[in-house]
Structure 1
Amino acid sequence: MSTGMASLTQAHFRVHTSTLRRVQSRSQGLLKSGKLFQLQGSAFPSIHINQPYICCTKLTPWESSPVTYAPTDNQSETFLQQSANIFEALETSKTAESSAENVEGVVETISQPGLQLQFFKWPLWLLGPSVLLATGMVPTLWLPISSIFLGPNIASLLSLIGLDFIFNLGATLFLLMADACSRPKYPTQDCKSKAPFSYQFWNVVATLTGFIIPLLMMFGSQKSFFQPQLPIISFAVLLGPYLLLLSVQFLTEMLTWHWQSPVWLVTPVIYESYRVLQLMRGLKLGVELSAPAWVMHTIRGLVCWWVLILGLQLMRVAWFAGLAARARKQQLSSDTSSAVVSD
């Protein structure tokens, strides 16, 4: 047995040495002839290279042996069946797995926070109107004017401004709660609501008209166009809080338009409702101040103007509600028709 193995090893070694001698003799012949390096008539000198050739069939200990993978009988039909390129097949499988994981994660994030936020929104439906009632109507209707108004002086003016500031604080809290309630059930849904340009234009016109009328009244009184004249402190007590709250309303409306909040439709309704009460309070104070008749008629004209604007705002709310109902009905009909076509 040992002699047979020795003879096989010697025969294998002779085959390798004979093959290497042939390759060496051919390469030396090409180098001596110089035909290998002839370029356009120029020849390089002959180069004689004597290199020993080593042939080893045994691998070193640190080299890994070649591994071949063969599919089993069950995997032979489905092995890399998607694409001829192995890298493309791996990429598509990874993409499919990652997309499936992302979809599962989105579904979990949508379902859980949406349900949690609904529990916090339910008390806001009662808390928001309660805050608006407590800060706006209760001080104006039940607080006696005599305890606030001490005469045409700075103290009375600051007291009236503080009373309107309490309402403004409650109105801001109410708008924040209304904005939170108007948000969709799932946080990933978009809820931006842009006010039409015509709506913004006519609101600005109404606000500027409410500014211009008192300023013209004060200018005419100072220039003696209207007789008898109205003192500056009396004018500030009667219409100073009105002008200040009108400025706050204009700023709030601009912010709701810029942020595209859904509460842009109810913001003027809240402030204009309180403005009617504010002007009615001015009529009571005008009687105590013995204001001229033209001042009282101007304040009554402002009351009528803002009641008219408030009615227009309520008609706009009804119009937008009908528009939203029609859009919802069209969406439901389109979804039903698409479902019938797909079936």
Structure 2
Amino acid sequence: MVTQGMVSLTKSLCTMTPRFRLKNPSLLQNLKTPGSCHLRFRNLRVLCTTKLSQWEPSPFIHASAEEEAAADIVLGKTANVFESVVSETAEEEEEKLESAQQQKNSQVQVLKWPIWLLGPSVLLTSGMAPTLWLPLSSVFLGSNVVSLLSLIGLDCIFNLGAALFLLMADSCARPKDPSQSCNSTPPFSYKFWNLFSLITGFLVPTLLLFGSQSGILASLQPQLPFLSSAVLFFPYFILLAVQTLTEILTWHWQSPVWLVTPVVYEAYRILQLMRGLTLSAEVNAPVWVVHMLRGLVSWWVLILGMQLMRVAWFAGFASRTATTSQQPPSVASK
């Protein structure tokens, strides 16, 4: 039985085309001899030069550590190459988008250039030209309703021109990129002093006129007739109301023209009060009315000067902020 098992073993090994080398050739004779069941395997040397069949899997070969490191380096370099290609493609797309956006912004900016001349021209035509060159004799025919409506019409023309000018200024002040938001909010102190100046400019002439009509202020004599007082002060009150409404809207919409709005209206208000001083002689206004008009002119000249000081201060503040943002963090923190 042992010899039959050995023979089957040798047959199975022969199917794998092994080669045997025997140190002792007499061992083969012992295999052929019946009854020889003792086999010393240490005398047997097997040289396995087998060829695997097509159905048998190939042996798994473990790679060395150096080969694994080299493969990792090659794979890492390949990944870096792909990443660099993807990043270069993304950068090219971003550059194309930026160039297209710059071209679009430049076209929009070219369209804004005529506004720099058109806006001031509208303001000059609607506000200053009727007041400076139109003779009052053709507008003011006396202390009557027609003269009052004529003066209010001149101020309405100015209000329309001022609204167009502020819209053009807002368009020029917006950023070049339409996608960028522009939220310009004035500080609380600025709002407070603007409202204070408007309320003061409204209350002082109102109280003086009411006191002269009711007899509370006996020193304000003689009285000014109602129609004459309306001719002198009603356009003034309307302009105050329009300025207040415009400023509140610019604050609510966070428009960048909130700093220019009071300058536009206050400059015209001075001309309006100077026109009132001229008309005071036509309506035979008392001396205290003339002094009140002169006081209002002085008050609004002072307020206009303060507004111009604010414009200068905000311009310097904006330049300081831009300089600080351009500096490195280490320099800006010092």
State the number of aligned residues: 250
Q: Which residue of 1 aligns with 2:257?
A: 263
Instruction: Give, in whole Å, the separation in 2 of the partners of 1:323 and 1:100.
Output: 36
Greater shift in the superposed pair: 268-277 or 326-335 = 326-335
SS at match of 1:228: coil
Deviations 1:34-82 (A, max 9, x none): xxxxxxxxxxxxxxxxxxxxxxxxxxxxxxxxxxxxxxxxxxx97xx98
Q: 1:335 to 1:191 in 2, by over 3 A?
A: farther
Amino acid across the alignment from 1:314: L
Match of residue 247, structure 1, among 237, 241, 249: 241
Q: 1:166 to 1:336 in 2, by over 3 A?
A: farther
Equivalent residues of 1:110, 1:188 under 8 A apart = no
Match of residue 313, structure 1, among 295, 307, 326: 307
Deviations 1:121-156 (A, max 9, x none): 111111111111111111100000010001111110
Match of residue 193, structure 2, among 179, 198, 202: 202
Greater shift in the superposed pair: 271-280 or 108-117 = 108-117
Amino acid across the alignment from 2:197: A
Instruction: Give, in whole Å, the separation in 2 of the partners of 1:268 and 1:159.
Output: 24
Instruction: Give, in whole Å, the separation in 2 of the partners of 1:285 and 1:126.
Output: 33
Amino acid across the alignment from 1:237: V
Amino acid across the alignment from 2:199: L
Instruction: Give, in whole Å, the separation in 1 of the partners of 2:327 and 2:293.
Output: 51
SS at match of 1:120: helix
Q: Which residue of 2 aligns with 1:141?
A: 132
Supply the RMSD in Å over aligned alpha carbons: 2.6
Q: Which residue of 1 aligns with 2:228?
A: 234
Amino acid across the alignment from 2:250: T
Query: What is the correspondence of 1:97-116 to structure 2 with a 5 Å cutoff?
Result: 103=94, 107=98, 110-116=101-107
Instruction: Give, in whole Å, the separation in 1 of the partners of 2:235 and 2:273.
Output: 10
Q: Which residue of 1 aligns with 2:280?
A: 286
1:333 paired to 2:308: no
Q: 1:114 to 1:335 in 2, by over 3 A?
A: farther
Give the superposition deviation at 1:178. 0.6
Q: Which residue of 1 aligns with 2:204?
A: 213
Give the superposition deviation at 1:214. 1.6
Identity, in percent, stands at: 62
Instruction: Give, in whole Å, the separation in 2 of the partners of 1:107 and 1:247.
Output: 46
Give the superposition deviation at 1:222. 1.4
The 4+ residue runs of structure 1 with deviation greater than 3 A are 99-109, 335-338
Query: What is the correspondence of 1:1-343 to structure 2 with a 5 Å cutoff?
Result: 103=94, 107=98, 110-224=101-215, 225=217, 226-334=220-328
Q: Which residue of 1 aligns with 2:30?
A: none
Equivalent residues of 1:283, 1:296 under 8 A apart = yes
Instruction: Give, in whole Å, the separation in 1 of the partners of 2:112 and 2:330.
Output: 31
Q: TM-score, normalised by structure 1?
A: 0.67
Instruction: Give, in whole Å, the separation in 1 of the partners of 2:328 and 2:166.
Output: 34
SS at match of 1:230: coil
Equivalent residues of 1:135, 1:166 under 8 A apart = yes
Amino acid across the alignment from 1:155: V
Amino acid across the alignment from 1:334: P
SS at match of 2:179: coil
Give the superposition deviation at 1:184. 1.3
Instruction: Give, in whole Å, the separation in 1 of the partners of 2:319 and 2:91.
Output: 36
Q: Radius of gyration: which is bigger?
A: 2
